Structure 1
Amino acid sequence: MALFKRRTVGKPGEWFYCLRHQTVEEGPECRAADRFGPYATREEAAHAMDTARERNLEWETDPKWHDMGKGGKGGPGDADGA
């Protein structure tokens, strides 16, 4: 008996963006490693790459993730950065 049931048929209303084919899919058509989602609407899935770009930019410019002190010390949880 399998631990996880593999879904082969998509659920109506679940939208994904396939990175390999660069298309929007309803339900999981391509393998999980090749897609973003699920999204609530087709429109959200169509803008998946824009959303990912925005989130990456937020992370890259977030000072709490870039508080390394001199000599490579510091980081989240290190109050004095030394």
Structure 2
Amino acid sequence: MDHMALFKRKATGKSGEWFYCLSHHTVEEGPECPARERLGPYATRAEAEQAMDTARERNERWENDPRWNEPAPRDETE
């Protein structure tokens, strides 16, 4: 008997929640894949289909946000 199968972690989620699987490059409802391999949840399938574009756009905004690019504070003890 395979005891490891008893401890296999099942992905959790609800019907109607949509995810983008980073491993399979597909949209899934539920989810089907583990959390470390997916983005979401999204309210609609269309939002999940755009997950990579959304992530890319957010990363660009953060990289260009002056609050993230402030110079490090000077150490007054130097």
State the TM-score, normalized to the length of structure 2: 0.76
Unaligned runs of 5+ in 1: 1-5, 76-82
Separation (CA, whole Å) in 2 of partners of 1:40 and 1:46 = 11
Q: Distance in 2 between matches of 1:8 and 1:66?
A: 37
Corresponding residue pairs, total: 66
Letter paired with 1:43: A
Identity of aligned residues (%): 65
CA-CA distance at 1:28 after TM superposition: 1.4
How big is the shift at 1:53? 0.2
Letter of the 2:23 partner, please give it. Answer: R
List structure 1 runs of 4+ shifted beyond 3 angstroms.
6-10
Distance 1:45 1:8 in 2: 17
Return 5+ residue gaps in structure 2 as ranges.
1-8
Question: Which residue number in structure 2 is paired with residue 56 of structure 1?
Answer: 59
C-alpha distance in 1, partners of 2:38/2:12?
Answer: 15
Over the residues paired in the alignment, what is the CA RMSD in angstroms? 1.9
Whichever structure has more helix as a proportion of its residues is 2
1:78 match: none
Q: Distance in 2 between matches of 1:58 and 1:33?
A: 23
